[in-house]
Amino acid sequence: GAVVSQHPSWVICKSGTSVKIECRSLDFQATTMFWYRQFPKQSLMLMATSNEGSKATYEQGVEKDKFLINHASLTLSTLTVTSAHPEDSSFYICSALTVTTEAFFGQGTRLTVV
């Protein structure tokens, strides 16, 4: 299957700083990528849809100024958590769609804000 690489796999940052997470489709081009957040023992919660060359579409309740998404190329989308606070600590996962609309996911990023 297709490969989606997410980096870093874990990060610890101080409260008030910003953290950038990268999501790359390694062997296919993805015009659409998605960013999810997952709390312990819960299912994935969609945060936003990232479209190459245009602004991301955010789900209701997700602060677009806090979670900045950039999809500058067909193989890379980034999520920046700005001015992170402890409540932003979570597991963030990206996915990318192939041309056959099959979704492949990154390995996830464990963010801990201290």
Partner 1 sequence: KQEVTQIPAALSVPEGENLVLNCSFTDSAIYNLQWFRQDPGKGLTSLLLIQSSQREQTSGRLNASLDKSSGRSTLYIAASQPGDSATYLCAVPYNTDKLIFGTGTRLQVFP
Residues contacting residue 82 through CB under 8 Å, at least 6 positions apart? 18, 65, 66, 67, 68
Binding positions for partner 1, rule: CB under 8 A: 1, 4, 6, 32, 34, 43-44, 46, 49, 91, 93, 95, 97, 100-108, 110
- Nearer to partner 1 by Cβ, of 44 and 82: the residue is 44
Is the separation of the CB atoms in 109 and 8 below 8 Å? yes
C-alpha dihedral sign at 111, 73, 97, 4? negative
Least separation in angstroms between CB 83 and partner 1: 26
- Nearer to partner 1 by Cβ, of 8 and 16: the residue is 8
- Nearer to partner 1 by Cβ, of 19 and 97: the residue is 97
